[in-house]
Amino acid sequence: MSAPADLPFDLDSLPPAVREAFVAMQAKVTGLEAQTERQDYLIAELRHALYGKRSEQLPPDERQLAFEDLEMAVAEAEAARAALAERNADGKTRRPPAKRNLGHLPDHLPRIEQVIEPARKICPCGCTDMVKIGEDRAERLDIVPARFQVIVTVRPRYACRRCDAGVIQADTPNWLIEGGLPTEGTLAHVAVSKYADHLPLYRQCQIYGRGGVDLDRSTLANWCGVAAYHLGPVVDRMLIHLKRSGRLFMDETRAPVLDPKAGKTKTGYLWAVTRDDRGWGGGDPPAVVFTYAPGRHGRHAMDILTGFQGVLQVDGYTGYDALAEPKRVGGMPLTLAYCWAHSRRKLHDIYQKDGSEIAAEGLRRIAQIYKIEATVRGRSPEERLAARQAQSAPLIADFRLWLTHQRSRISAKSRLGEKLGYIHRHWDGLQIFLTDGRVEMDTNPVENTIRPITLNRKNALFAGHDEGGRTWARMASLIETCKLNAIDPYAYLRETLTAIANGYPASRIDDLMPWAFQKPSI
């Protein structure tokens, strides 16, 4: 920064100390202006990522990465700006004012107190020792990296001094892997790291290696397989519980699997069956069960839902159509309730690419229906149904007239005509929510449970075998159900595996459901 032309004094005429201070102040102002400009730019980028036009927003996973990078950059800019502001005129730094943390550190965390006493506690005048009249306390969060420990099981042997009646010794405790290295807590940790935190086994081996514990990836794979085998009956029982409901969601997502014979990956699928009655205050806890299948054919859905009767909420995939037909195997025909969110996406794709005003009008009409739906979420089925009949039904009727009119004007073979035709073909199923207060407008609950599968798929790339896909499905079922019920997946798996190792009776398997889990008191 150069001195202004109308400066009332000559910089060179100032005393050297004053001149140096003035130059230092100018440099400080220049730095602060640059940092403020960068900070404003980053904040604007962050706001755009949060509140920008929907057509410009990133997918959820990429958006989270963008948020992290932008927030880190903002923090870096703020730190640099604060460092400049905290310099005195002589260039020396002064201690910044204390900042109070937002939020509260949980009470259950252990506290380690560090008492910092003054170097001298004698009165400055030397008359006597000073006495404590109070204290200031400040809490900071400290993280200790994972600590490995070895559990040594000691079983003393006892014998009689006077006779040879024999030796007594306590029985060996029950372990899930008899004679193996891992505790049930270790098995739970490896599974949660892989299927909840999306850390492939080879990366876990690298982390353990830094702690001085060398474990082969195949060893961890073996542990996961054993745990999945013992948890299989629990997952099977979960699916039985879900199929007793009167309404379920279903969706499928890709699960690439290595095909050893072909030397490349093939496309398997994880089929998700979800129960989520929170939208209408239902008493059954939310849950999801994944089932691995080597393909996407509708027969897999038919097999999974054997015995289920009621309403099935799905997208427009034709593989579900046979479930609503009289020839359905495994039960009476189901009522298929289709998803308004998928219909909206069809129009949104057209609007995003072509700017179609017809698509924009369809989006506005659907948005009006969703506004009404937001006001009835969490209310009873009767209240939801009454509000829908009074407010949503007229909008749906108008939408049908608008849809018919637009389809008569637009070629069915055009891109927009195809999207409107999709809505028309699924019209009956799109209206189910108007006649049943338990039914949602879309399949978002099941799509939300599938998102972690996508993250795991990105990190692990593929499962090594069809059996790996089945293990993936079992672990994901338990972990995602724990999340839906605000339960720590590690605590649940550790206690459940311990119970199974100790011969938990099959007659009480319902007590092992994730939603029934009670964290043991410490």
Joined tokens for residue 426: 């699924």
Mean pLDDT along residues 2-26: 67
Residue 89 confidence (pLDDT) above 80: no
Indicate the residue type of 90.
Answer: D
Indicate the residue type of 415.
Answer: R
The CB density around residue 119, as the number of other CB atoms within 10 Å, is 4
At 395, the pLDDT band (50, 70, 90 cuts) reads very high
Give the pLDDT score at 505.
93
SS3 assignment, position 443: coil
User: Alpha-carbon distance 27 to 6, whole Å?
Assistant: 19
At 199, the pLDDT band (50, 70, 90 cuts) reads confident
Sheet of strand 335-337, all strands in order from the earlier edge strand to the far edge: 287-293, 264-275, 247-259, 311-313, 335-337
The angle that helices 201-210 and 184-195 make with each other, rounded to 10 degrees, is 120
Per-domain boundaries in the chain: 11-85, 239-448
Joined tokens for residue 242: 């879900």
User: Alpha-carbon distance 270 to 257, whole Å?
Assistant: 11
User: Alpha-carbon distance 361 to 352, whole Å?
Assistant: 13
Residue 262 confidence (pLDDT) above 80: no
Give the phi and the psi of residue 152 in degrees, each rounded to 5: -100, 115
- Predicted structure pTM score: 0.76
Mean pLDDT along residues 379-401: 96
Weakest-pLDDT range from 187-191, 257-261, 438-442: 257-261
Q: Token match 């949503």: residue?
A: 392
What Cα–Cα distance (Å) separates residue 59 from each residue in 67, 201, 315?
12, 27, 19
Mean pLDDT computed over every residue of the chain: 83
Give the pLDDT score at 1.
44
The CB density around residue 220, as the number of other CB atoms within 10 Å, is 23
What Cα–Cα distance (Å) separates residue 223 from each residue in 65, 189, 190, 305?
32, 11, 8, 30
User: What does the radius of gyration of the chain's CA atoms come to, in whole angstroms?
Assistant: 32
DSSP string computed for 266-325: EEEEEEEEEE--GGGT-SSPPEEEEEEESS--HHHHHHHTTT--SEEE--S-GGGGGGGS
User: Alpha-carbon distance 378 to 277, whole Å?
Assistant: 9
Indicate the residue type of 331.
Answer: G
At 222, the pLDDT band (50, 70, 90 cuts) reads confident
User: Alpha-carbon distance 119 to 363, whole Å?
Assistant: 70
Joined tokens for residue 484: 């839906």
User: Residues 402-449: pLDDT tens digits?
Assistant: 999 999 999 998 999 999 999 999 999 999 999 999 999 999 999 999
> What burial letters (b/e) apply to 337-360, b meaning 16+ CB within 10 Å?
bbbbbbbbebbbebbeeeebebbe
Give the pLDDT score at 56.
45
- DSSP one-letter code for 125: T
Identify the CA nearest to 376 among candidates 448, 324, 441, 318: 441
Residue 55 confidence (pLDDT) above 50: no
SS3 assignment, position 494: helix
Residue 3 confidence (pLDDT) above 50: no
**Pseudo-torsion of CA 444, 449, 450, 451, nearest 10°?**
90
* In contact, 293 and 271? CB cutoff 8 Å: yes
Q: How far is CA 511 from the centre of its chain?
A: 25
Identify the CA nearest to 473 among candidates 263, 481, 484: 481
User: Residues 482-514: pLDDT tens digits?
Assistant: 999 999 999 999 999 999 999 999 999 999 999
Give the pLDDT score at 276.
96
Q: CA angle at residue 481 from 369 to 207, to 5 degrees?
A: 120
* In contact, 359 and 455? CB cutoff 8 Å: no
SS3 assignment, position 461: coil
Indicate the residue type of 63.
Answer: R
SS3 assignment, position 157: strand
**Pseudo-torsion of CA 313, 448, 517, 457, nearest 10°?**
120
Give the pLDDT score at 469.
77
- Give 32 or 279, the one with higher predicted confidence: 279
Give the pLDDT score at 431.
95
Residue 310 confidence (pLDDT) above 90: yes
